[in-house]
């Protein structure tokens, strides 16, 4: 059942993003060739262009890491973009992969596909068992459609298309824009700004009580290569670290790493989102893959490199 990467030409869609660039780093250790396309040369929302690219390049396998992504506020503020761009990108790439006979495709989703009040830890079978979190239902609906499209191509055409659902990610190449980023890069940037201005407190959005699980993107890239080689089934598979923390404690960790001695202040005018989102990753763990980068270590590395890039 294993998919041998030796000599394979693998299209990493979204190679400039945090996940795509981590995949390129990880795939350097495999005996395969990575194909990439710059956004200026190929708009993945453009179906004829995507078809033409696949006809010219005929990849053996595809990892679909390209997506319109963002934090809680970006999702809430740009629902049409999050729904439409993601539907177009995934439908074009998955369709063209079938049309041009890619032997394998790995689609990437997100833990926000699960219901807002899903049972914890969240097993794969919790999908479509309840209402979604309103701030990110648009993105979630697109990602659910992506899982279903892979399953549909598997059922109708026998394609070996699989889907992985990662938990909240962080790492090198993240988006640090204060309005559109996810929480960890936002806190790193706020802490770096505070350090420079002499401020000792850190202000977070919401109440600080939501719980999140964080996975370093290098761990995710390793899991994706593992799944590409070893997983072949219609059912999507969770990829988490098992390391859960409240947003207030995460802020304290970032403050500690940054050397800030003040307090965590809250801004309750901002949304909390889902109260808890801990994935049950027992299926991938039973296959032999586990995350290796502890949150404390990952946050320190990312903070140090953010500070270095700033100077
Ligand atoms: O990472 P985040 O934006 O996304 O926010 P979600 C996580 C939690 O951190 C929320 C709080 O409770 C935020 O209110 N938070 C505190 C902050 N301070 C900040 C801050 O300065 N910036 C941000 N961004 N958050 C996203 C989904 O949900 O998770 C996406 O919207 C996707 O669709 C992604 O699934 C993985 O975890 O709430």
pLDDT tens, position by position, 283-292: 999 999 999 9
Helices (H), 134-277: 137-157, 183-197, 217-230, 247-258
How far apart are alpha carbons 257 and 238 in whole angstroms? Answer: 29
Q: Mean pLDDT throughout 192-198?
A: 95
Ligand 1, residues 250, 264, 273: which to mutate, most atoms within 8 A of Cβ?
273
* 229, 6 contact by CB (below 8 A): no
Active site (annotated) includes residue 114:
no
How far apart are alpha carbons 215 and 180 in whole angstroms? Answer: 19
Q: What pLDDT shows up at residue 118? A: 98
Both structure tokens of 220 = 């995710």
pTM over 0.85: yes
What's the 3-state SS for 5-57?
CCCCEEEEECCCCHHHHHHHHHHCCCCCEEECCCCCCCCCCCHHHHHHHHHHH
Distance from Cα 270 to the centre of ligand 1, integer Å: 10
How far apart are alpha carbons 12 and 281 in whole angstroms? Answer: 24
Average pLDDT, the chain: 98
The dihedral over CA atoms of 45, 46, 48, 54, expressed in degrees to the nearest 10, equals -50
Which atom from ligand 1 is nearest to the alpha carbon of 111?
35
Helices (H), 205-294: 217-230, 247-258, 282-287
The 10 Å Cβ neighbour count of residue 303 is 22
The dihedral over CA atoms of 168, 171, 172, 176, expressed in degrees to the nearest 10, equals 60
Name the residue with tokens 């459609």. 145
Q: Mean pLDDT throughout 95-108?
A: 98
pLDDT at 175 over 90: yes
Q: pLDDT tens for residues 230-285? A: 999 999 999 999 999 999 999 999 999 999 999 999 999 999 999 999 999 999 99
Q: Mean pLDDT throughout 47-57?
A: 98
Both structure tokens of 259 = 């050397």
Q: What pLDDT shows up at residue 311? A: 79
Distance from Cα 61 to the centre of ligand 1, integer Å: 32
Q: What pLDDT shows up at residue 21? A: 98
Q: pLDDT tens for residues 40-51? A: 999 999 999 999
> 182 in ligand 1 pocket by Cβ < 6 Å?
yes
Ligand 1, residues 72, 114, 193, 272: which to mutate, most atoms within 8 A of Cβ?
72
Q: What pLDDT shows up at residue 218? A: 98
Q: What pLDDT shows up at residue 310? A: 87
Share of the chain above pLDDT 90, in %: 99
pLDDT at 66 over 90: yes
pLDDT at 141 over 90: yes
Q: What pLDDT shows up at residue 1? A: 67
> 95 in ligand 1 pocket by Cβ < 6 Å?
no
> 215 in ligand 1 pocket by Cβ < 6 Å?
no
């Amino acid at each position: 059942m294993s998919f041998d990467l030796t000599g394979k030409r693998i299209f990493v869609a979204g190679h400039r993003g945090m996940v795509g660039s981590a995949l390129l780093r990880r795939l350097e250790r495999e005996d395969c060739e990575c194909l990439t396309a710059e956004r200026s040369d190929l708009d993945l929302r453009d179906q004829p262009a995507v078809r033409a690219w696949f006809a010219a390049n005929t990849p053996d396998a595809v990892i679909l890491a390209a997506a319109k992504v963002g934090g809680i506020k970006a999702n809430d503020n740009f629902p049409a973009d999050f729904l439409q761009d993601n539907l177009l990108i995934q439908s074009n790439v998955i369709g063209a992969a079938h049309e041009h006979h890619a032997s394998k495709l790995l689609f990437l989703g997100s833990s926000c596909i699960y219901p807002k009040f899903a049972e914890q830890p969240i097993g794969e079978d919790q999908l479509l068992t309840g209402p979604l979190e309103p701030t990110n239902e648009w993105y979630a609906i697109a990602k659910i459609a992506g899982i279903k499209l892979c399953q549909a191509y598997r059922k109708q055409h026998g394609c070996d298309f699989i889907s992985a659902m990662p938990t909240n990610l962080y790492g090198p190449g993240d988006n640090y824009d204060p309005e559109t980023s996810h929480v960890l890069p936002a806190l790193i940037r706020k802490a770096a700004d505070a350090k420079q201005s002499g401020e000792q407190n850190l202000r977070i959005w919401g109440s600080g009580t939501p719980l999140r699980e964080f996975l370093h993107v290098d761990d995710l890239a390793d899991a994706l290569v593992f799944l590409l080689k070893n997983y072949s089934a219609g059912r999507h598979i969770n990829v988490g670290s098992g390391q859960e923390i409240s947003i207030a404690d995460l802020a304290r960790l970032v403050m500690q790493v940054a050397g800030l001695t003040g307090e965590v202040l809250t801004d309750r005018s901002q949304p909390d989102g889902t109260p808890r989102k801990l994935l049950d990753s027992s299926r991938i763990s039973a296959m032999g893959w586990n995350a290796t980068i502890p949150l404390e270590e990952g946050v320190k590395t990312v903070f140090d490199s953010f500070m270095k890039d700033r100077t």
